[in-house]
Amino acid sequence: MNYTAPVADIRFALEAAADLWSVRRGGAFADLDQDLLGAILEAAAALAGESLAPLNRVGDQTGVALSNGDVRTPPGFAAAYKEFANGGWLGLAADPAYGGQGLPRGVALAAMEMVHSANMSFGLLPLLSLGAIEAISTHGSPEQKQLYLAKLISGEWTGTMNLTEPQAGSDLGVLTTKAVPALDGAYRISGQKIFITWGEHDFTDNIIHLVLARIEGAPAGSKGLSLFIVPKFMLGADGRIGQRNAVRCVGLEEKLGIHASPTCVMAYEGATGWLIGEENKGLAAMFTMMNAARIGVGSQGVAVAEAAYQQALAYARERKQGGAVIIEHADIRRMLMTMKTKIQAARALCYAAALAADCGDHARESLLTPIAKAWSTDLGVEAASLGVQIHGGAGFIEEAGAAQFYRDARIAPIYEGTNGIQAIDLYHRKLLGDRGEAMRTLIAEARETADAFSHPQAARLGEAAVALAAATDYMLAAKRDDALAGAYPYLELAGDTLGGMLLAQGIMRASASSAAAKPILDEQNALLGFYAETVLARAPSRLAAIKLVAAALASADF
């Protein structure tokens, strides 16, 4: 496949819409400037376009295979991983004390978006390593940090997340993997974990598994779970690789998409593991990994949508029908514009969530995270489907490549917490958690944006914000069961509105700056205009579903 990173769109979303430079207000990130940002994004664009995109199709076709516990990866992937690690890409936002560059997460997310666009299967490997880095940075002991962080940040080793078991799915309370204390202070871990992304490969000397397990005698349910570090190879006291640990890959899933990414069944058979964080506080530690990973998965939704858009655009410019190239047809343009405008809104949502973390605005970060994850990954599926449609019959033929995006995109609304779980999280932990305070702050911001904005469609944003305010009041006042029935359309309304707000803020911020070039401003104005008539204009009509679906569901008899 061909992929040319949309660096100008990404910079606009990052700097203007998601307000990157606000991270420097407190004096933080003093080393970051426009030149450095530009250099990073251009280098990421080159890596993605030149090294990773050419492997996307062969990875899909070749897939992965298991033999005697070893995973055979598609040709070219090992070398690409070396290039990726050597480029320092894992360390962009990591702690300089362990070799990281200490840049904002928002910048790292923008670079990773390009990686995911070029090759979503490949991008999962660093995405999981970043989760492990996050967990060890936050919860690890000084010795654990010393042993693992530098190697993970340099990419010399990779990391994994081991949560799910066959009987568990989204309900981690019923996990049965056991941890038995050993005399050496370690634990012996036994159990089977499924859906372990990049659980096994031979790119690196070691793989660091983070594993949820229950210490013998711990309470049942999610309050009895602890998190363990289980390296594939044990380390000597000097940190050198020692003997093989009792963990192995015993199966690979045959999946709809992301064929180049091994999804492993991992067997722990008395494997040696070390507790990370406190006993029985494993779930909280795991959530540290998951929250960052959720924004990353949201970004995968944006990324696969962008890849599908680029491929459909190229096809539409080339393919002739009725004497003209099909991009001249209004309905083809409508589909392309639907993709493009929602991509830019979702991109801004993901960056805004990451930059809220960089600014230490935890309330904003935690509110935006489930919205960014679910709204962007739903878009990934929608855009990939439109990409197939624009191709007509060719889209259904695997050789054209549009079908791969349609298959790959489908996982993102499922993993790192299904989008249904995100909607419950938004309602239950976020909205009820602060009685709607963070959401009301954002709604006020959306209304102020609409009021201050001179764009002809500003009124659409105002109307969406009014609807979101009404929906928020309803959700806070509703009975729990009623609110849960409305939680998904509520999340969608929030994404519609806040995505539009960010698009508008991007234009306002860029217009106020002398640096913004007119062509990109014109383009962003066109995107917002289309977004207003298609997304914002329909947003308030979600209110009926939010408020009344519980009653309509009550009479359903399944």
Instruction: Give the footprint of a copy of itself on residues 338-377 (CB under 8 A).
Output: 340
For residue 429, which amino acid is it?
R
Size of the site for a copy of itself (CB under 8 A): 88
Q: How many CB atoms lie within 10 A of CB 302?
A: 33
What is the CA angle 139-145-151, rounded to 5?
125
Q: How far is the CB of 418 from a copy of itself (least distance, A)?
A: 6
CB closer to a copy of itself out of 291 and 422: 422
What is the CA angle 320-325-327, rounded to 5?
135
CB closer to a copy of itself out of 213 and 467: 467
Indicate whether 155 belongs to the interface with a copy of itself (CB under 8 A).
Answer: no
Which residue is it, tokens 């489930």? 370
Query: Can you tell me which of 330, 477, 512, 515 binds a copy of itself, judged by CB under 8 A?
Result: 330
CA dist 267 and 255 (Å) reads: 20
CB closer to a copy of itself out of 150 and 411: 411
Specify the 3-state DSSP secondary structure of 293. helix
CB closer to a copy of itself out of 328 and 434: 328
Q: How far is the CB of 545 from a copy of itself (least distance, A)?
A: 5
Indicate whether 331 belongs to the interface with a copy of itself (CB under 8 A).
Answer: yes
Task: Find the radius of gyration of the CA atoms of the chain.
Answer: 23
Indicate whether 70 belongs to the interface with a copy of itself (CB under 8 A).
Answer: no
CA dist 395 and 258 (Å) reads: 18
Q: How far is the CB of 424 from a copy of itself (least distance, A)?
A: 7
User: Which residue in the list 134, 165, 306, 416 is annotated as catalytic?
Assistant: 416
Q: How far is the CB of 384 from a copy of itself (least distance, A)?
A: 10
Q: How far is the CB of 555 from a copy of itself (least distance, A)?
A: 4
Residues 443-472 that bind a copy of itself (CB under 8 A): 460
Q: Could you confirm whether 398 is annotated as catalytic?
A: no
CA dist 191 and 65 (Å) reads: 23
Residues 384-403 that bind a copy of itself (CB under 8 A): 385, 388-389, 392-393, 395-399, 403
Indicate whether 477 belongs to the interface with a copy of itself (CB under 8 A).
Answer: no
CA dist 419 and 410 (Å) reads: 12
For residue 512, which amino acid is it?
A
Q: Which of the stretches 24-32, 64-72, 163-171, 349-357 binds a copy of itself when contact is defined by CB under 8 A? A: 163-171
CA dist 24 and 38 (Å) reads: 17
Which residue is it, tokens 């090992």? 78
Residues 408-447 that bind a copy of itself (CB under 8 A): 410-411, 413-415, 418-420, 423-424
Specify the DSSP element, H or E, that contains 227: strand 225-231
Residues 94-133 that bind a copy of itself (CB under 8 A): none
Show contacts of 287-291: CB within 8 Å, 24+ apart: 288/134, 288/135, 288/138, 288/139, 289/131, 289/132, 289/134, 289/135, 289/161, 289/210, 290/131, 290/161, 290/416, 290/417, 291/366, 291/369
Indicate whether 407 belongs to the interface with a copy of itself (CB under 8 A).
Answer: yes
Indicate whether 178 belongs to the interface with a copy of itself (CB under 8 A).
Answer: no
Q: How far is the CB of 99 from a copy of itself (least distance, A)?
A: 34
Specify the 3-state DSSP secondary structure of 146. helix
Query: Can you tell me which of 36, 484, 508, 521 binds a copy of itself, judged by CB under 8 A?
Result: 484
Indicate whether 481 belongs to the interface with a copy of itself (CB under 8 A).
Answer: yes
Specify the DSSP element, H or E, that contains 458: helix 458-477
177 near 166, Cβ under 8 Å?
Answer: no
Residues 232-261 that bind a copy of itself (CB under 8 A): 253-257
Indicate whether 322 belongs to the interface with a copy of itself (CB under 8 A).
Answer: yes
Residue 432: Cβ-neighbour burial (10 angstroms; 0-12, 13-18, 19+): middle
Query: Can you tell me which of 142, 320, 454, 514 binds a copy of itself, judged by CB under 8 A?
Result: 320
CA dist 202 and 199 (Å) reads: 10
Q: How far is the CB of 310 from a copy of itself (least distance, A)?
A: 11
Residues 519-558 that bind a copy of itself (CB under 8 A): 522-523, 525-526, 529-530, 532-534, 537-538, 540-542, 544-545, 548-553, 555-558
CB closer to a copy of itself out of 100 and 199: 199
Just list the catalytic residues: 416
